[in-house]
Amino acid sequence: MPYAEVLINRKVAALDRPFTYEIPPELFDEIQIGSTVSVPFGNTTVKGIVIGMTDDPGEITPKYIDDIVNETFLFPKDLLELAEYLGEYYMNPKISMLHAMIPRGVNLFGKALKPKTEPYVSLAPWTETSNLRGERQKEIAAYLDSYGEISLHEAVHEKGFSVSALRTLVKKGVLLKEERPVRRYGFEIHSGVEHDFQLTEEQRRILHTIRSRGHDDTRPILLHGVTGSGKTEIYLRLVTDVISQGKQAIVLMPEIALTPQFVTIFERRFPGKVVLMHSRLSAGERRDAWYAARSGEAAVILGARSAVFAPVNCLGIIIMDEEHEDSYYQGNAPRFHAREAAAKRCEMTEALFLMGSATPSLESYHKGLIGEYQLLTMERRVNDVPLPTVKVVDMREELKSGWTEVISRQLIEEMNKNLIQKQQTLLFLNRLGSHTFVSCRDCGFVHTCPNCGISLVYYESRNSLRCNHCDHEVKMEDTCPQCNGRRIRYFGLGTEGLEKVVKKFFPNAVVDRLDSDNTKHKGDFDRIYERMKSGATDILIGTKMITKGWDFPNLTLTGIIAADLTLNFPDFRSSERTFQTITQVAGRCGRCSEQGRVILQTYRPNDPVILSGSRQDYGAYYEWESQKRAGYEYPPFTHEVKIIFTTPRGYLFQNDLDQIHRCFEDVVNSETEVLGPSPAIYRYHKETEKWVVTLIGPKLFDMRNEIKEGLCCLKGENILDKNIIVQVEIDPLDIV
């Protein structure tokens, strides 16, 4: 087939389709689907990627392809197909999808990084070790005689061989020195033994069900297992199955950099076969992981969201742990949810897709109930340790009885018990800084961010006010900038503030804090994690970072400082997030032998979410929430789409906004509802402003066309011009 369909490397909607080029005869053998090429386009030369071949150029006379860009790189074919699917599903330009699939270090159109090499020495085949003089030379030769080879680094720094002896041997031709590629792993392997245990009955039942599934059952599996039910062991056994069939496994974790124990567990079970893929790795580490997955050298790819695009050849399974986590959704262009990507990829390759969670997303659980997913349940914890007891403390009552501290008396009492018994405590508060809100008592002035318009957070340690959205920071003054008053009032305690309160109550305890504010540098996280793991930490204060699948045997008490914090968010998913957080945070404690205790502080003790969360009753919660969603016709019963207009401030007037609404209203069918444009929650950024139109409807396929038509109409009305940026978010999870 002499013609190639080439996708041009330009992120312009109009160019989001293949163009046909003729393959020059001299490149016939080299150009394949997945090749990167340079082609003439208009008056210039552009790069592109071959996504198809054809015999028929159609009406036009195609131009010739100029050249191959990167001879050693081929875009994996199944990923091309996946990009096509995700591009359509999320209305992303395909070329952006392709870029998102290839990590830095591999470089789609540029030069790939080279593998790192290290000098190795081995005995030359003609060497007679008996001819050697000198003890040090003999020692080296004897070692290499039995072990074959050694890196120079290891020879000198670990074996203590003499540098000069090595050098002499190489010079004499006794040893051969060679540069070998070495893989940059991006993780440290912690030594230690693996626990050997009998599977629990539930684990055995689940594994049996999965292994004995009929070939015609290709549904994804949702494993709903309470916290500490031993889901990880299920994953490990299934990965073992896959490897024994000569296939590869992709294991996704929400934030792999925050769950070092998973890496250790997998590396111990599959030594030398695991690679990591996540955004905190260096470009070189990513390059090496990519090629190791591509070549099949790596059997297990462990990673965050984007590891769903690991270029494995022979996919056996994708496992998605904590499937409910929002970080599986990529909120920046190109937007996509790793769950959708994984499901499609497994469908294409006939691999198994397994999702696990103690608090499945409403979408997935719904699919489980209607049979679109196979729903499997584990109800008990390993060792039959009961789930933690949860005591709800009504903070209004605390106030009424004159206790004004953020930590209730009951929680203080329980923390005291834990300190005496040398057990660890976790305090959860999903708010950064010292205080989230600073105002003047005299004139009511509130410090707000000039970029974003939201209130600035006070950080006592830096004596500054900072925006948690855009990082804008100003020094905190003693007086009110508006009235010069000195009576400043602080509201809304954050983690930094909480740390101070805890230290006041427990001056002798070892208190640590884990949040995005104090883990900005490499190694910060590991240090805090290791201190907690070693048992040195008595009390750990943290944000959502601490909810990620942690497993510490000596952690027996969890305090949830303000359970209803997220409930007040203006988003229909806020109660779902609150329930998940409560259950997950509670689930961190009492996992080993002793039943854990949770103190849940709230101002809304009778809220259904708080109630079901405190009972860790997913079923009750699901019933309540799904009825509510069905009533309002929200997802999972419908799809939501947000169309975001970013404009200069004050650019759109009321009649423009009305016109925008009308353009969409005119094109949607009766089942799709049009809301807005309304100001975004994070409305302002620098000189710009955001407006959001929300479409809600049952038929995503139709809605995509409606969006296109609506935007077309806006162009026709001259509302859309080059000052307005439009983004479309399908099934979004983030708050705009």
Q: In 616-699, where does DSSP find H-type helix? A: 618-632, 654-667
Find the binder of ligand ADP among 87, 103, 105, 228 (CB under 6 A): 228
Say which entry of ligand ADP, Zn ion, none residue 657 contacts (CB below 5 to 8 A, set by partner kind).
none
| Residues 730, 735, 736: CA angle, nearest 5 degrees | 80
Quick one: 380 or 531, whose CB is closer to ligand ADP? Answer: 380
Task: List the x/- string, 584-623, binding to ligand ADP by CB under 6 A.
Answer: -------x--------------------------------
Closest CA to 562 of 498, 635, 503, 466: 498
How far apart are CB 447 and Zn ion at their closest, in Å? 11
Size of the residue set binding ligand ADP (CB under 6 A):
17
Q: What is the DSSP string of 30-42?
A: T--TTBEEEEEET
Q: Which residues does 361 contact at the CB level (< 8 Å), separation at least 6?
A: 323, 324, 576
Quick one: 44 or 198, whose CB is closer to ligand ADP? Answer: 198
Containing 266, the helix (H) or strand (E) segment is: helix 260-269
Say which entry of ligand ADP, Zn ion, none residue 359 contacts (CB below 5 to 8 A, set by partner kind).
none
How far apart are CB 497 and Zn ion at their closest, in Å? 20
Size of the residue set binding Zn ion (CB under 5 A):
7
Instruction: Please identify, among the stretches 192-200, 479-487, 490-498, 676-684, the one whose residues bind ligand ADP according to the rule CB under 6 A.
Output: 192-200
Cα 283 to Cα 280: distance, rounded to the nearest angstrom: 9
Radius of gyration, CA atoms only, the chain = 29
Q: Which of residues 444-483 bind Zn ion (CB under 5 A)?
A: 449, 451-452, 467, 469-470, 472
Say which entry of ligand ADP, Zn ion, none residue 467 contacts (CB below 5 to 8 A, set by partner kind).
Zn ion
Find the binder of ligand ADP among 64, 197, 403, 632 (CB under 6 A): 197
How far apart are CB 157 and ligand ADP at their closest, in Å? 34
Instruction: Please identify, among the stretches 8-16, 157-165, 227-235, 594-602, the one whose residues bind ligand ADP according to the rule CB under 6 A.
Output: 227-235
Instruction: Please identify, among the stretches 380-388, 432-440, 443-451, 598-606, the one whose residues bind Zn ion according to the rule CB under 5 A.
Output: 443-451
The strands making up 149-151's β-sheet, listed across from edge to edge, are 149-151, 116-123, 175-182
Cα 539 to Cα 555: distance, rounded to the nearest angstrom: 9
Cα 709 to Cα 722: distance, rounded to the nearest angstrom: 18
* CB atoms inside a 10 Å sphere around CB 179: 11
How far apart are CB 148 and ligand ADP at their closest, in Å? 36
What residues are paired with 645 via a beta bridge?
Answer: 691, 726
Say which entry of ligand ADP, Zn ion, none residue 521 contacts (CB below 5 to 8 A, set by partner kind).
none
- Farthest-apart Cα atoms in the chain, separation: 95
Q: How far is CA 483 from CA 233, 453, 463, 489, 727, in A?
A: 62, 20, 20, 14, 42
How far apart are CB 199 and ligand ADP at their closest, in Å? 5
Instruction: Please identify, among the stretches 94-102, 220-228, 407-415, 503-511, the one whose residues bind ligand ADP according to the rule CB under 6 A.
Output: 220-228
Task: List the x/- string, 366-395, binding to ligand ADP by CB under 6 A.
Answer: ----------------x-------------
Q: Which of residues 291-310 bind ligand ADP (CB under 6 A)?
A: none
Quick one: 229 or 434, whose CB is closer to ligand ADP? Answer: 229
How far apart are CB 231 and ligand ADP at their closest, in Å? 4
**Would you say 355 and 349 are in contact if contact means Cβ atoms under 8 Å apart?**
no
Q: Which residues does 619 contact at the CB level (< 8 Å), separation at least 6?
A: none
Cα 707 to Cα 714: distance, rounded to the nearest angstrom: 11
Q: Which of residues 550-589 bind ligand ADP (CB under 6 A)?
A: 551
Q: How far is CA 419 from CA 411, 474, 535, 552, in A?
A: 12, 39, 12, 16
Say which entry of ligand ADP, Zn ion, none residue 584 contacts (CB below 5 to 8 A, set by partner kind).
none
Cα 249 to Cα 270: distance, rounded to the nearest angstrom: 11
User: Which spans of this chain sit near Zn ion (rule: CB under 5 A)?
Assistant: 449, 451-452, 467, 469-470, 472
User: Which spans of this chain sit near ligand ADP (rule: CB under 6 A)?
Assistant: 195, 197-200, 203, 225, 227-233, 382, 551, 591
